[in-house]
């Protein structure tokens, strides 16, 4: 759950960077085809960028030592408290998951309703003409001209022949250049990222740029610019479909401004190259600073192991019964993960349990843990020994058992190195005093 939440946060950050780059650098350019490619490609690439590993392109040692890389702040979501109970973790994670799924379902229902409306509107459409590229339909409704796929829908009685010519040219651009694909992708991206306001802005930018592209193509093919702009002001009607490319969908003021704008020089296309450093910066921000560079620097204190076997070796029958009766309170569970902190807390729990029941002669070696790391797949076996009379043990005796005791109260540096050696060599972990 934590991994999914972190992934969603990184996707949201990616879309924010993508839109801000478009708004600051590309929005005013008249290179509409390039803008279309940028918006469509980055809308899909945002799902992949958080998954890219920087160490696949840069040596991990260089990553950790580079001042430039470390200057870029790392976007990292801290994991939830490991001491939370399973019930608490479930309750916390259930809320955002439910909200997220509910939002996706609502957007999906709205998407389906759009298709239902489209089918109702076009059910009685009559075919006016058909060419190799598009189909032209007449709808006897007060509706704004629109296109979907390879079909163009108009009300021929609402417009003059000259107006119909420009309208059909405009909608034909949408049909021939497959703009419906862009609109569908924008809708799906919004559906999966409904919580992110930048995604909705990108969706609006995609549709608006498609209108700029269609307007620009019509003007290039000989339409009178002034008459065409008056036509945009004149066309009215009902436009209920977000999934279709309507003739008058985007802001008229912005469309007229872009039509009258001086053509952008082709050299401005070089600005698209700044997308590459933008992607690199996002990859740097999504790097994992907590990932170990090598075995000597990894933190064994927080490294998780799987508990495959748990046994008790208690000589005193009364203590054995006392511990077994409170076994459900143990922090070490079969099949669950544990780390050095878990063992330390479990030792403190057992010591407190004994003290509450009248045992006061508890020295530092009375409670020991034998950790056998020879299991495969990071699984370990633990034997808990409780002997209130125990004073010391020889190194040779421990060596013969094939298991080594870990003193959780010994030096943290030595303990971390011992656990590290146990994982790396599948040997047994040892502590400075060979005892707990």
Q: What is the 3-state secondary structure (H, E, C) of the chain?
A: CHHHHHHHHHHHHHHHHHHHHHHHHHCCCCCHHHHHHHHHHHHHHCCCHHHCCHHHCCCHHHHHHCHHHHHCCCCCCCCCCCCCCHHHHHHHHHHHHHHHHHHHHHHHHHHHHHHHHHHHHHCCCEEEEECCCCEEEECCCCECCEEECCEEEECHHHCCHHHHHHHHHHHHHHHHCCHHHHHHHHHHHHHHCCCCHHHHHHHHHHHHHHHHHHHHHHHHCCCCHHHHHHHHHHCCCECCCCCCEECCCCCHHHHHHHHHCCCCCHHHHHHHHHHHHHHHHHHHHCCCCCCCCCCCCCCCCCCCEEEEEEEEEECCHHHHHHHHHCHHHCCCCCCCEECHHHHHHHHHHHHHHHHHCCCCCCCCCCEEEEEECCCCCCEEEEEEEECCCCCCCCHHHHHHHCCEECCCCCCHHHHHHHHHHHHHHCCCCCCCCCCC
What pLDDT sits at residue 103? 93
Task: Return residue ranges of the chain for CATH 3.10.20.310.
Answer: 305-425
Our separate counts of H helices and E strands in the chain read 15, 10
| pLDDT score for 179 | 92
Tokens of 312: 């008790």
Instruction: Output the pLDDT for position 112.
Output: 92
pLDDT at 59: 53
Q: How far apart are CA 237 and CA 138, in angstroms?
A: 14
Task: Please name the CATH architecture into which domain 305-425 falls.
Answer: Roll (3.10)
Residues of the chain short of pLDDT 50, as ranges, are: 61-72, 78-90, 291-298, 391-416, 418-436
Q: Rounded to whole angstroms, how far apart are CA atoms 300 and 371?
A: 14
pLDDT for res 248:
60
Name the DSSP letter for residue 376.
Answer: S
| Angle, CA of 172, 174 and 178, to the nearest 5° | 115
Confidence (pTM): 0.59
Structure tokens at 371: 């950790």
Q: What is the pLDDT of residue 398?
A: 38
Angstrom distance (rounded) from CA 246 to CA 411 = 71
Mean pLDDT for all residues in the chain: 75
Q: What is the dihedral of CA 282, 285, 288, 292, to 10 degrees?
A: 110
* pLDDT tens per residue across span 6-60: 788 888 888 998 999 899 888 888 889 999 999 999 999 888 887 776 555 555 5
Which residues on adjacent β-strands are paired with residue 130?
135
Instruction: Report the C-alpha gap between 38 and 413 in whole angstroms.
Output: 50
> N- to C-terminal Cα distance for the chain?
35
What span, in angstroms and rounded, lies between the C-alpha atoms of 106 and 325? Answer: 50
């Amino acid at each position: 759950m934590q991994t999914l939440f972190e992934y969603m946060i990184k996707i949201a950050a990616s879309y924010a960077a993508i839109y801000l780059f478009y708004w600051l650098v590309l929005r005013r350019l008249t290179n509409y085809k390039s803008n279309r490619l940028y918006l469509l490609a980055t809308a899909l690439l945002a799902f992949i960028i958080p998954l890219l590993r920087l160490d696949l392109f840069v040596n991990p040692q260089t990553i950790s030592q580079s001042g430039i890389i470390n200057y870029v702040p790392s976007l990292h979501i801290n994991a939830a408290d490991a001491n939370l109970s399973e019930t608490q973790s479930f309750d916390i994670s259930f809320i955002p998951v439910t909200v997220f799924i509910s939002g996706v379902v609502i957007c999906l229902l709205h998407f389906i309703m759009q298709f239902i409306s489209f089918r109702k509107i076009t059910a009685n459409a009559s075919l006016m003409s058909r060419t190799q590229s598009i189909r032209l339909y007449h709808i006897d409704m007060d509706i704004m001209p629109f296109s979907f796929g390879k079909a163009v829908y108009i009300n021929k009685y609402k417009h003059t022949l000259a107006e119909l010519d420009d309208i059909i040219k405009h909608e034909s651009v949408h049909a021939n250049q497959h703009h419906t694909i862009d609109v569908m992708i924008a809708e799906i991206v919004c559906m999966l990222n409904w919580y992110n306001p930048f995604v909705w802005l990108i969706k609006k930018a995609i549709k608006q740029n498609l209108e700029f592209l269609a307007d620009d193509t019509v003007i290039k093919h000989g339409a009178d610019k002034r008459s065409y702009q008056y036509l945009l002001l004149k066309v009215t009607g009902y436009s209920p479909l977000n999934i279709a490319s309507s003739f008058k969908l985007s802001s008229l003021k912005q469309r007229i401004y872009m039509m009258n704008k001086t053509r952008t020089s082709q050299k401005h296309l070089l600005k698209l190259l700044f997308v590459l450093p933008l992607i690199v910066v996002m990859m740097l921000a999504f790097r994992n600073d907590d990932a170990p560079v090598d075995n000597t620097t990894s933190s064994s204190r927080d490294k998780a192991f799987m508990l495959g076997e748990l046994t008790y070796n208690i000589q005193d029958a009364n203590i054995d019964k006392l511990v077994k009766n409170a076994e459900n309170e143990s922090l070490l569970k079969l099949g669950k993960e544990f780390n050095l902190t878990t063992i330390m807390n479990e030792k403190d729990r057992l010591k407190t349990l004994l003290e509450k029941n009248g045992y006061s002669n508890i020295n530092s070696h009375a409670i020991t843990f034998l950790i056998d790391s020879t299991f495969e797949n990071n699984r370990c076996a633990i034997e808990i020994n409780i002997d209130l009379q125990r004073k010391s043990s020889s190194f040779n005796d421990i060596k013969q058992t094939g298991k080594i005791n870990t003193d959780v109260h010994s030096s943290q540096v030595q303990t971390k190195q011992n656990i590290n050696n146990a994982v790396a060599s599948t040997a047994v972990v040892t502590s400075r005093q060979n005892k707990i």
